[in-house]
Amino acid sequence: MCLRQLLQSSQLQRAWRAAFLKHVQGRHPGAWRWTHSGGGPYRAVIFDMGGVLLPSPGRVAAEWEVQNHIPSGTIVKALISGGENGPWMKFMRAEITTEDFLQEFGRLCSEISKTSVPVDSFFSLLTSERVAKQFPVMTEAITQIRAKGLQTAVLSNNFYLPNGKSFLPLDRKQFDVVVESCLEGVCKPDPRMYKLCLERLGRQPSESIFLDDLGPNLKAAAGLGIHTIKVDDPETAVKELETLLGFPLRMAVPNTRPVRKTMEIPKDALEKYLKDLLGIQPTGPLELLQFDHGQSNPTYYVKLANHQLVLRKKPPGTLLPSAHAVEREFRIMKALGNAGVPVPKVLDLCEDSSVVGTPFYLMEYCPGLIYKDPSLPGLEPSQRRAIYTAMNRVLCKIHSVDLKAAGLEDYGKHGDYLARQVQTWIKQYRASETSTIPAMERLIKWLPLHLPRQQRTTVVHGDFRLDNLLFHPETAEVLAVLDWELSTLGDPLADVAYNCLAHYLPSGFPIQPGLSDCDLTELGIPTAEDYFRMYCLHMGIPPIENWNFYMAFSFFRIAAILQGVYKRSLTGQASSATAKQTGKLTEFMSNLAWDFAIKEGFQIFKEMPATKPLMRSHHTWSLLRTPGMRSYVTSTDSSPAHASKGALIFSPEGLPHQVRELYQQLKEFMERHVYPAEPELQRHQVSAERWTPSPLVEDLKEKAKAEGLWNLFLPLETDPKKKYGAGLTNMEYAHLCEVMGTSLYAPEIFNCSAPDTGNMELLVRYGTEEQKARWLIPLLEGKARSCFAMTEPQVASSDATNIESSIREEDGFYVINGHKWWITGGHGEVLFEQVRVPKENIILGPGRGFEIAQGRLGPGRIHHCMRLIGCSERALALMKARVKSRVAFGKPLVEQGTVLADIALSRVEIEQARLLVLKAAHVMDVVGNKAAALDIAMIKMVAPSMASRVIDRAIQAFGAAGLSSNYPLAQFFAGARALRFADGPDEVHQAAVAKMELKHHS
């Protein structure tokens, strides 16, 4: 039996009917038919506010926690903490002020989640206009209840806002009685609250129905004899209320409402037009309602005689020429209808604006079900699977339409759809950009470079999602695909990816509920991968390899759209809390997009062909006089495109033009200024003045700054606008950093030394504007130095959890006590005794150190490795020169086989390590620091010991001179040796590599 037959089988139809009835009838299946009117024994309906008329604090918290990376459930735990005497209940009884509440509540949340929780932002969201909005289904129900002569009341545990008003974002006119806990000083479930409400209504408990989402509140009401309804979701609750009251509480046409004042259209003119069109003489009046959806093009339900129609028109006002093209919608629906795609049957296009004010078209009204929640609550797993399969099928049908036969060949441009789309959305995003979003910057670079090579051209819907489909109420049949406003000709896979967006969003996500936290197997819903596979199977095409690209693009597009909304909300009427939330959504979406880019990046990286590698032509260091000089016989004139194509550039010759120039300039500076200064700098280091900055270094710093050889380390990713640094990628910097590594003094001269580099990056990423002004700017200017104080003499500091130093809060200060040593900037030993740090100096907030440490240990983590390559190159260059000139046992040392073997080994080891450094830097650029963890750990494990070996061989070849201060070898060796544990012990990196190897490559 094929799937279609299966779906049509009577057994399945029965299952559908049962599920549908369950869906529409709530918990009272027997009472579906309206048997009586007027409310029976009930005379009043009492509503709780949060969770019944508006989203509950718990629901608001769920989405807020996701967006703010707060452990899920923190807010709810804190809300119920302390019971009747907890801060929330005290706040509801107006026993404490908002300020006191937020302080106490914030403390509780931080205790529960072990992280700092910005409760102010949660409170603003909870009370924002966007969130605190009455559910339309409840508005409708209240209207119907009152129309039948019943009373309504709201009985709310609420609070005072900082402006002194009570929080009740409802139209009070809807209620006969309003009882607010903060006014009364008493809260549900205290029976006094309910009694007060009944008294004011003048009703007996048995005459009233009470709706609440919380068990204890319902229990107290039931204890008084009030009939109760538990509200899990407003729609189901209204259905239950309908059955209790015995009359309908919803408009006859689902998802409609009375026409909005600003959207009214002249009924007389429309009626006349319809009479002519349909050739009828109706007796009754024309009925007009407005659909909830279709914000862009207002959509109306029209009933005249027995004709039920849908009218869709352009919005009033001046419009962009290509926007709101209802003519296109009419054209595509007509063509697709003829081609067998389920779309509402279109009747007429009226381009004459004199009828209803703008052009419009008419289609037949098609009754059916729209599933708004992609988790399809109330359905069985097999039914859910069938719905998703049907959706997939209908998408295939759209994408299989023969453009020529359907007369749609000129409905859009052919080819390069994604290239055009990417540019369009980049442009849109730039036009509404308000601040730099790192993920968006990365995507703007990444997307154009990773466009799929092959794209088909078909009809694309442009907004294909579950809630744009009208389903048969009893079978998994798509009756109609709605909303063709964004349709065009393009790459069909963009529709498939867009269709899977919900899979990656959490269930409580604003704008669109998602599935990311649902157990799809249990629900019977295919995963996104399965959905793609299903599509390929239905279409008869090979599996899609690069669907991560399409997902990245889809999320990028949504992020760009949200940024537009955000910009408008900043200039429009929206409250600042609403605007802020929309801003956060943009970032959230862009991060999701970048996650997909990372996944795709890995795939591309693995598949990258090894053709046309840029060869490092020679690796010799020329003369001792010019250490640090690598000479190249050939110089390939490579274009900047080499870097931008994402290729691994393993020769400086392959660097983009400007970077190559910088590289050359750096090398010249080293030769002109740094190497010659080394003897003097070394003298200063052993002199009595060694604890004060060397004037020569300060002088060289000014010279380097003047030449633009300054702050080269800040990676493009951290500083996309090149506000603070040179804007190099990690890989580009690796080549330059290697050159700096040839001299121990160079990094400081170019303001690229540790730990300042990591600290500066940290301030760029996490510092407030005040903190940046106070610390980052002086550091960037080379006027201040910084340190990183972690290691303690008493404990094994390889393990950061051993730290014994203490920090406590006292009168607006943090008080620090501890003993540190080996603190670079003089490798000093430091005692912190009652050190008082003003609270505002903390970066990012208490409890967020780990997060910062992770960020800090990004690119900075491999700078040591980059430098060690340079250091090893210089050691090898010195060794080669030495063994050629020094004679023992009648011949130059270089003629000894052991010396040759040492040289060969050193060359090979340096090359191996360099490739690994460059690869790690490249992976960081292409797929991000997090995904490069393995490569970073590998190179940290390899570079210090490799350098130690190479330098050790050079010292051996030099004999005693190798240990003297006439050459830098002894110092190099000490440095490389220290890095075998100072940047994390070799063993710890080994363990990390092994763990990742076992996890990912089993």
Ligand X SMILES: Cc1cc2nc3c(=O)[nH]c(=O)nc-3n(C[C@H](O)[C@H](O)[C@H](O)COP(=O)(O)OP(=O)(O)OC[C@H]3O[C@@H](n4cnc5c(N)ncnc54)[C@H](O)[C@@H]3O)c2cc1C
- Chain residues in the site for ligand X (CB under 6 A): 755, 787-791, 796-798, 822-824, 827, 978, 981-982, 985, 987-988, 991
Distance of closest approach, residue 980 Cβ to ligand X, in angstroms: 7
Q: Is the Cβ of residue 503 or residue 989 nearer to ligand X in the bound state?
A: 989
CA–CA separation, 358 and 312 (whole Å): 10
Task: Sort strands 287-291 and 299-304 into parallel, antiparallel or unpaired.
Answer: antiparallel
Token reading at 581: 């939330």
Please name every residue paired with 303 in a beta bridge, in sequence order, or none if there are none. Answer: 287, 308
Distance of closest approach, residue 930 Cβ to ligand X, in angstroms: 22
Element (H, E) at 874: helix 860-885
DSSP assignment of 526-554: PPHHHHHHHHHHHHT-PPPS-HHHHHHHH
Q: Is the Cβ of residue 31 or residue 978 nearer to ligand X in the bound state?
A: 978
Dihedral angle, C-alpha 540, 542, 546, 551, nearest 10 °: 20
Q: Residue 880 carries which DSSP code?
A: H
Distance of closest approach, residue 794 Cβ to ligand X, in angstroms: 9
Distance of closest approach, residue 849 Cβ to ligand X, in angstroms: 14
Surface-to-core class of residue 281, CB atoms within 10 Å of its CB (0-12 exposed, 13-18 middle, 19+ buried): exposed
Q: Is the Cβ of residue 152 or residue 757 nearer to ligand X in the bound state?
A: 757
Q: Is the Cβ of residue 510 or residue 968 nearer to ligand X in the bound state?
A: 968
Q: Is the Cβ of residue 657 or residue 827 nearer to ligand X in the bound state?
A: 827
Distance of closest approach, residue 793 Cβ to ligand X, in angstroms: 8
- What sections of 896-985 are H helices per DSSP? 897-927, 933-958, 969-982
What is the chain's length?
1002
CA–CA separation, 909 and 7 (whole Å): 66
Show the CA angle centred on residue 311, arms to residues 305 and 314, nearest 5°.
155
Cβ neighbours, 10 Å, residue 428: 15
Distance of closest approach, residue 791 Cβ to ligand X, in angstroms: 3
Dihedral angle, C-alpha 401, 407, 409, 410, nearest 10 °: -140
Distance of closest approach, residue 132 Cβ to ligand X, in angstroms: 48
Distance of closest approach, residue 988 Cβ to ligand X, in angstroms: 5
Please name every residue paired with 211 in a beta bridge, in sequence order, or none if there are none. Answer: 47, 229
Distance of closest approach, residue 800 Cβ to ligand X, in angstroms: 9
CA–CA separation, 286 and 235 (whole Å): 29
DSSP assignment of 763-774: HHHH--HHHIII
Cα 836 to Cα 467, 722, 819: the distances in Å are 57, 35, 15
Q: Is the Cβ of residue 237 or residue 979 nearer to ligand X in the bound state?
A: 979
- Check if the beta carbon of residue 91 is closer than 8 Å to that of residue 103: no
Token reading at 305: 């005689």
Positive/negative CA dihedral, 711, 716, 718, 723 = positive
Q: Is the Cβ of residue 59 or residue 819 nearer to ligand X in the bound state?
A: 819
CA–CA separation, 75 and 509 (whole Å): 16
Distance of closest approach, residue 984 Cβ to ligand X, in angstroms: 6
Helix (H, G, I), strand (E, B) or coil at 892: strand
Q: Is the Cβ of residue 736 or residue 943 nearer to ligand X in the bound state?
A: 943
Q: Residue 672 carries which DSSP code?
A: I
Distance of closest approach, residue 679 Cβ to ligand X, in angstroms: 22
Strand order, beta sheet including 227-230: 177-180, 151-156, 44-47, 208-212, 227-230
Q: Is the Cβ of residue 751 or residue 791 nearer to ligand X in the bound state?
A: 791
Task: Sort strands 488-490 and 458-460 into parallel, antiparallel or unpaired.
Answer: antiparallel
Q: Is the Cβ of residue 827 or residue 930 nearer to ligand X in the bound state?
A: 827
Q: Is the Cβ of residue 483 or residue 761 nearer to ligand X in the bound state?
A: 761
CA–CA separation, 368 and 50 (whole Å): 31
CA–CA separation, 109 and 95 (whole Å): 20
Q: What are phi and psi of 153, to 5 degrees?
A: -145, 155
Distance of closest approach, residue 826 Cβ to ligand X, in angstroms: 10
Q: Which of 875, 897, 873 is nearest to 956 (CA)?
A: 875
Distance of closest approach, residue 400 Cβ to ligand X, in angstroms: 59
Distance of closest approach, residue 755 Cβ to ligand X, in angstroms: 5
Distance of closest approach, residue 824 Cβ to ligand X, in angstroms: 3
Q: Is the Cβ of residue 807 or residue 881 nearer to ligand X in the bound state?
A: 807
Q: Is the Cβ of residue 686 or residue 796 nearer to ligand X in the bound state?
A: 796
- Check if the beta carbon of residue 973 is closer than 8 Å to that of residue 899: no
Distance of closest approach, residue 941 Cβ to ligand X, in angstroms: 12
Q: Is the Cβ of residue 784 or residue 988 nearer to ligand X in the bound state?
A: 988
Please name every residue paired with 153 in a beta bridge, in sequence order, or none if there are none. Answer: 46, 177
Q: Residue 776 carries which DSSP code?
A: I
Q: Is the Cβ of residue 518 or residue 853 nearer to ligand X in the bound state?
A: 853
Q: Is the Cβ of residue 673 or residue 977 nearer to ligand X in the bound state?
A: 977
Q: Is the Cβ of residue 121 or residue 990 nearer to ligand X in the bound state?
A: 990
Q: What are phi and psi of 959, to 5 degrees?
A: 70, -150
Type of residue at 908: V
Distance of closest approach, residue 825 Cβ to ligand X, in angstroms: 7
Cβ neighbours, 10 Å, residue 338: 13
Helix (H, G, I), strand (E, B) or coil at 480: strand
- Check if the beta carbon of residue 742 is closer than 8 Å to that of residue 972: no
Distance of closest approach, residue 777 Cβ to ligand X, in angstroms: 22
Q: Is the Cβ of residue 247 or residue 788 nearer to ligand X in the bound state?
A: 788
Q: Which of 415, 515, 419 is nearest to 458 (CA)?
A: 415
